[in-house]
Structure 1
Amino acid sequence: MMMIKAVLLDLDNTLLRNPQQAFTAEYLRLLDEFFYSRHFQQQVSRVILNAVRTLIAQKPIKLSNTDFMLTRLAGALDTPITELRTLFDEFYRFVYPTLRRCTEQIPGVAALYEYLMREDYMVAIATNPLYPAEAIRQRLEWAGLPGDLTAYEFVSHSDNMHFIKPQPEYYAEVVARVGIEPDEAVMVGDDVVNDMIPAGQLGIRTFQVFDGRSNKWSTRADAAGHLRDFHKSAAQYGWLDIPLPYRLNPAMIETELRGNLGALYGLISEVQPHYWDQHPDPAEWSIMQIVCHLLESEINVQRPRLETILQTDNPFLVSPRAPAGPEAENCAADGYAVVEEFETERQKTIAFLQQIPTEAWNRPARHSVFGNTTFLEMAYFTAQHDRLHVNQLCQTLGNCS
């Protein structure tokens, strides 16, 4: 049982009143109008809606949501991606701001943000990443919050995310980017399907915001009320300080292993070519060495350990030898290729786990460090190992120059 370190805040109809049906219709109308004025005859909104429908089923993990959408649009509109990026940048700078008239501020939002920051909680904006960073920045300002995305621990948007709501992998990706464990976070949102259920499946504590207009109370949340009730519960009643039991279940594992991949791809997209081999701290690994370690561990430690537990009755597991230090040679010359190879190996691990019968998840083992354990706990440790090094990569990247 862990204390809450991070508060994940949904945006629309949690921090900003935004009637989604009316807002989306007006957004698509303005988008079509804008592209028509640029001599596009095809209805862009229709292409975008079709692309959104295929995001869950067809998008490779390595592509950000923006990259996937632009690839689909480029093919449908016979227009280079670079030109589309320029057009969308113009649309979001000059046309999108007019949508503010469709929204309304919610009382108490700024006070809640200030309280959470004052109490040293990590504050992340966990909005459905269907819009780019500029759109989210503007909507945060409309809500009366800082528009500077660096004012938050993390802000999800289509440029930096690889899953969408209601995929539980979305929450696994956010947790990995924030640098915490699932039971160290609380998700505050209005939508049962998009927020409460998938976050809860990952073991994240949930608070459903009830505005009395667009949603109904749900028993799928750990607590519910108006946004001011969440603020009051945290500030006066210490709700965030009350530990809740965290129960592992097999369904969490694949979700986290896939979400962690998304977080890794999101981070390496920010790596400049000359960053890969830098050692901002001489005693620490470079980014290249971190991704090499993830690959080597997946092949030589993580999956083989699970196979041993499955094949041997109550095996004794010895901790692997300590990996080489920062003086070690790189495993390859191309860091991005290493991450792609890691994804290939990770998919093998996931395929292996998908074949595990229900009763096998409780198979026992003994570990030289952790003591008595199970297949499930060791599978979860693989996900934790990911997050440890994703966080390490994030810190290293922040110190590169």
Structure 2
Amino acid sequence: MAERVQERERALVVDVLTRIADGRIRLPRAERNHEAMTREKALRILGATPQRLRDLVHDLSPAQLGRQPADGEWTISEIVNHLLLGERDVILPRLRRMREEDAPSFPSSLDDRTGFAAAPIADEAGWDVERFRLVRHETLAFLRALEEADWHRRGTTPTRGTLTIEAYVEYLAAHDVEHLAHLQQLRARVTGEGSHAASS
């Protein structure tokens, strides 16, 4: 049974990669905030994201959470699952290694289900939001305990090259902003309501 699940997940990843390569999947890009990202701004964004995420999805039905807005587009539950898996299984472990090791290099996350959502169960989106809140709490506790020199420790990723912990955190904050904007758009589409405020 476990092998069949793993095979299905791997097949889903291959399918997503294929559709990205031939242009059938496009992940919407949020409008960029041209104000420079700073460490302080990044930490504020990271701290605010769990509540903003909950505000966007807490009152949606399983049908709304699992509704695919268009062919090849992620559902709301898939985006929530992606945020959880990406931080819990990829980003936070990498940040910890960057602090403890001398310039580690990381394998691609595309070989497992963390880089792309893998057909999560829409009924579990609320649990994913809560699990995300807990792992984000871990991430922030880790970051707030860093010494100044730690922020400049480096690691090499397969897609972004060599970067510091500080640069990785700024990327993570921008990633939050992008997906929250996408979720706001999707919420409006699946509910038929006007734009739902994602920021305070």
How far does the alpha carbon of each residue in 1:201-223 deviate from its partner, in whole angstroms, 9 at most, with x for none? xxx5xxxxxxxxxxxxxxxxxxx
Which residue does 1:337 correspond to in 2?
Answer: 127
2:155 — aligned with what?
365
CA distance in 2, matches of 1:330, 1:369: 25
2: distance between equivalents of 1:330 and 1:316? Answer: 29
Q: Judging changes above 3 Å, is the alpha-carbon distance between structure 1 residues 258 and 180 closer, same or farther for their aligned structure 2 residues? A: farther
The answer to whether the 8 Å contact 1:332/1:338 transfers is: no
Separation of aligned partners in 2, 1:247 and 1:295:
23
The structure with more radius of gyration: 1
Q: Which residue of 1 aligns with 2:15?
A: none
Aligned residue type for 1:257:
L
Number of matched residues?
Answer: 160
Q: Supply the distance in 1 between the matched residues of 2:158 and 2:93 (Cα, whole angstroms).
A: 16
Instruction: Label 1:274 to 1:331 Cα distance change in 2 as closer, same or farther (>3 A).
Output: closer
Match of 2:78 in 1: 289
Q: Which residue of 2 aligns with 1:347?
A: 137
Which whole-Å CA distance do the structure 2 matches of 1:268 and 1:370 have between them?
Answer: 30
TM-score (norm 1): 0.37
Q: Determine helix, strand or coil for the equivalent of 2:110.
A: coil
- Displacement, 1:381? 1.4
Q: Distance in 2 between matches of 1:247 and 1:339?
A: 25
For residue 51 of structure 2, what is the aligned residue in structure 1?
262
Q: Which residue of 1 aligns with 2:19?
A: none
Residue 66 of structure 2 aligns to a residue whose secondary structure is coil
Residues 1:255 and 1:333: Cα distance change in structure 2 (over 3 Å):
same
Match of 1:308 in 2: 97
Percentage of identical aligned residues: 26
- The secondary structure found in structure 2 opposite 1:316 is coil
Q: Could you tell me how far 1:370 is from its partner in structure 2?
A: 2.1
| Letter of the structure 1 residue corresponding to residue 65 of structure 2 | W
Q: Does 1:278 align with 2:67?
A: yes
Structure 1 counterpart SS, 2:72: coil
Q: Aligned letter for 1:309?
A: M
Q: Which amino acid aligns with 1:339?
A: V
TM-score under structure 2 length normalisation: 0.69
Aligned to 2:22: none
Note the C-alpha offset of 1:247: 6.1
> Residues 333 and 269 from structure 1, CA distance in 2 versus in 1: closer, same or farther, beyond 3 angstroms?
closer
Quick one: distance in 1 between partners of 2:116 and 2:174?
21
More strand by share: 1
Alpha-carbon distance change, 304 to 332 in structure 1, aligned in 2, over 3 angstroms:
farther
C-alpha RMSD over aligned residues? 2.4
| 2:178 equivalent to 1:388 | yes
Higher helix share: 2
Contact 2:98 2:104 in 1 (8 A): yes
Runs of 4+ in structure 1 deviating by more than 6 angstroms, as ranges, are none
Alpha-carbon distance in structure 2 between the residues aligned to 1:399 and 1:367: 35
The Cα of 1:277 is off from its aligned counterpart by 1.1
> Which aligned pairs between 1:2-41 and structure 2 lie closer than 5 A?
none
- 8 Å CA contact retained: 1:284, 1:325: no
Aligned to 1:313, what secondary structure does the other structure show?
Answer: coil
The within-5 A match list for 1:70-85 is none
CA distance in 1, matches of 2:159, 2:76: 27
- In structure 1, C-alpha distance between the alignment counterparts of 2:68 and 2:56, rounded to whole Å: 17
Q: 1:368 to 1:274 in 2, by over 3 A?
A: closer
- Conserved in 1, the CA contact under 8 Å of 2:68 and 2:74? yes
Q: 1:180 to 1:319 in 2, by over 3 A?
A: farther
- Structure 1 residue 286 displacement after superposition: 1.3
Higher relative contact order (CA 8 A, sep 6+): 2
- Per the alignment, in what secondary structure is the counterpart of residue 109 of structure 2? coil
